[in-house]
Chains A and B, each alone.
Chain A
C-alpha cells in the first residue's frame, strides 16, 4: 500500500464548471497503518418483475451451493461463493387477502415497505417508507446522494395500472414517505447528469452550451485532475486513471445511446437515449452504479429491472412476446420456456454486474465484498401470483458480515422484511420497525 504523510479526504471531489466528479477510494485516503479498510458497506435492491420460473431457480438442497446451479442461476456459477440463495421468504401484503385482484400492484409496492397497500388509482396513495429509504434517512447524509433510484422502464405516476391500484405502485419500489414514491431514473443521460452533472450552480444557458459542445465531463474537471495527480503516488495515479477512463467510457455509451432511434417494441414507451437491447441498457445503467458506489456518491440504491407487470419483449434473444403475458402460461410449455429464457437473460446481466463489482478493487478488498445486494421479486410464480417462497439471491458479504456460497431455507411465512432488517443492521440502522419484519434472519450472518 502506498503510504502518504497526509490522507486525502474521502469525500474530496474534482470540480469544474458545471461538473463535480467524486473520487474512488484511493490509498491516499486511508490513514497510514490503518488496521482495516474504511470502505463503507453498500446496499442495493434489484427488483425482478413478474416472478420467476421457480422450477429452474431453487437449488435442490440446503447447504453449500453446488458447482452446477439450477438453470436460471447458472450465470452465477463462477461467483457462487459470493452469493447466497435464500428460500421461503414471504411478502404477505402482496397477497389478495380480503381485497382481491391487483397482485402486480401489491407485489412491488409491498415488497420493500412490508405494509398493506391502500387500493387507489387516485392521488390518495398510502404506503410507508421503504427499507432503502429507512437506510437513506439514517445514513444518506454521508454521501453526495442519499440514495439512487434506477429503473429500466420510464416511470408512470398516475392512472390505474392494475385493478384499481395506481401506476405509482407498479412503477416505484422506493418510497420516501407513506405518500411519496421516488421514481427511478430510466434515462441514461439523466442518470449520468445526476451522478456527475453538478451540485455546483450552473446557469441553464451554460448547461445547454456545455451539452451542445459535447464537452466531456473530464474536460470540465481537467484542472482539478492535474492538481490531484501531482500529489498522488504511482498506485493511486493508476487507480485514478482507470476510474476516469471508466467514467469516459460510460459517457461515450450514453452519448451513443442518445443518438439511437431504434424502437424496442411499438407497444412500449421507449425514451430517447435508451439502448435498444436489454443487456446493453442494463450494463450501461449498472456501470454507472458501479462508479457511484466506487466513488462513494451513494451507498444505497434500488434498481427496477422492469416495472411490475412489465410487457417488455426481448427480441434479441428471440422472445418477441411480452414478459407479463408469457408468465400467465397456464402450463403451456412453450410460454414457460420463454419465461425461463427471459429469467436466464436477466440473471446473466445481473451476474456480469456482480462480477464487475468483484473485479473492482477497493483497498485490500473489492466492491462486492463491501456490498449487500438483493436480486429478487415480490412474486414467485407469476402464473398464479404467489407471494411466498420468493426468489431471493443475496450478493456480497457486507464486509465480512455474511457467509455466502450457501442455500438457506427458512420456515415458510418468514417475512422478506426480515432480510431487509438484517441488511440495515449491517449499516448500523436499527429502526423499531422495517415493514412487517418480525426480527432479523437467524443463521444468515456470521454472528448469528
Chain B
C-alpha cells in the first residue's frame, strides 16, 4: 500500500456496520459526528445491514443534522445499504424519517453498495477501525476483492464486534470474520452495554440544544418504547473503546475464542487458541465512563473544523474523560439551516 503523502497525524476513520435497530445505535452514530468535529475520529462509512431504506435514510438524516450537509470534497460516501428481500424498518427510525429533516437519500440507488462502502470507508482513511453491530454478511464479502485483506491489515487498527443480545443473522459470515479478519479483534459483550444505561428521564434536558430544531435521535429514542426507559449502550460503549482503547475505562481479557452458534449467538471463552480479546469495564471507572458516553451522545453538533480549531482549550474531545462539560471544540452558534 502506497504511503499517504501527508504524513501528519490524522483522525482514525470509523467504519460502522450497523442494523440501526436500537436507540444505542442512534446514540452511537450521534456521537461519531461531534467526534469528527473534535478530530478524535473521522467518519469513514456507515453501512446498514438488516434494515430497509428508511433505516438508511435515518442514518443520512443524522449525518445531515450533525454535519450541516457539509461534505469533504468528493470523499463523502453515501450511507450504505444492503438491499435485501424482507428487510424491514423499525418504528424507531420511521418516527424520525416521517419528520421533515433534511436528507440526501431519495431512492435506494442513492445509497452506497454495501461491500464497496465498507471497503472504501477503509480506503478513505490512513487508519481505520471497524465496528460490527449487525449481520456480518457484507463485511465478510468485503474480504474478497483484490487486495482487500492486505488493505485491512495495513490500515485497520481494530475490529470491535458488538453483542447486544440479539443474535445476528448469517452465523457463517460471522464465523468467517472471526477466522479471517486480518487485524486484532475485540468483543464487546452484552454485559458491558447492559451495565451502561442512558438516563432516559434526562433525554429532553440532555438534548435541550435541539428544542427549536428537533432531533432525529430524540424522536427515535422516544419511539423505541414507552418513556421513560434507560437504554443499554451497547454500540456506544463499543465505539468508545474502539476510538479510545487506552482511556482507562476498560480492561481486556487474555486472548480467547469467540464461538458462534448456528443461530448467531456469540459466546467468548478465554484460551482455546483464539485471537479475540473481550472487553470489560473497570469497575471503579463505571460512573465516569457512563458520563463520558452520555456527554458524547448528546453533544451539540459541531461543524467539521480544521485541525487548528478542533479541540477546546483543555484538549478534550467529545469523549471528554473528565465527564460532562469537559472542554470541547464547539462552535458558538449553529448555522441557520440546522433542522430545516
Contacts and interface: CB of A to CB of B under 8 A. Distances in A.
A438 B2 contact: no
Interface stretch (B85-93, B141-149, B183-191, B238-246): B141-149
Contacts, number: 86
Contacts of A436: 119, 145-147
Interface in B109-156: 109-113, 115-117, 119-120, 123-126, 141, 144-147
Contact of B115 (A96, A116, A119, A438): A438
Interface stretch (A148-156, A285-293, A356-364, A404-412): A404-412
A433 B145 contact: yes
A88 interface: yes
Given A92-B116, A410-B109, A437-B146, 11 more contacts: A62-B109, A92-B120, A97-B124, A98-B126, A99-B4, A115-B147, A118-B2, A119-B5, A411-B83, A413-B113, A438-B115
A252 interface: no
Contacts of B78: 412-413
Contacts of B80: 413
Interface residues of B, number: 34
B77 interface: yes
B1 interface: yes
Interface in A380-426: 384-388, 409-415
Contact of A433 (B1, B115, B146): B146
Contacts of B126: 98
B162 to A, nearest CB: 24
Q: Which 5 pairs show the lowest CB-CB distances between chains A and B?
A: A98-B4, A413-B116, A433-B146, A413-B112, A411-B113
A24 interface: no
B74 A388 contact: yes
B42 to A, nearest CB: 12
Interface residues of A, number: 34
A133 interface: no
Contacts of B5: 98-100, 119
Interface of A: 62, 87-88, 90, 92, 95-100, 114-116, 118-119, 128, 384-388, 409-415, 433, 435-438
A-side interface mostly: loop
Interface string B35-57: 00000000000000000000000
Nearest to A114: B146
B11 interface: no
A62 B111 CA distance: 16
A386 B74 CA distance: 6
A411 B123 contact: no
B337 interface: no
18 contacts: A87-B109, A90-B116, A92-B116, A95-B75, A96-B74, A97-B123, A98-B2, A98-B6, A98-B125, A100-B6, A115-B146, A119-B2, A384-B73, A411-B81, A412-B112, A413-B113, A413-B120, A438-B115
A99 B116 CA distance: 20
- Most B Cβ at <10 Å: residue of A88, A97, A386, A387: A97
Contacts of A92: 116, 120, 123
A411 B112 contact: yes
B74 A385 contact: yes
Given A436-B145, A436-B146, A413 B2 contact: no
Contact of A438 (B73, B124, B144): B144
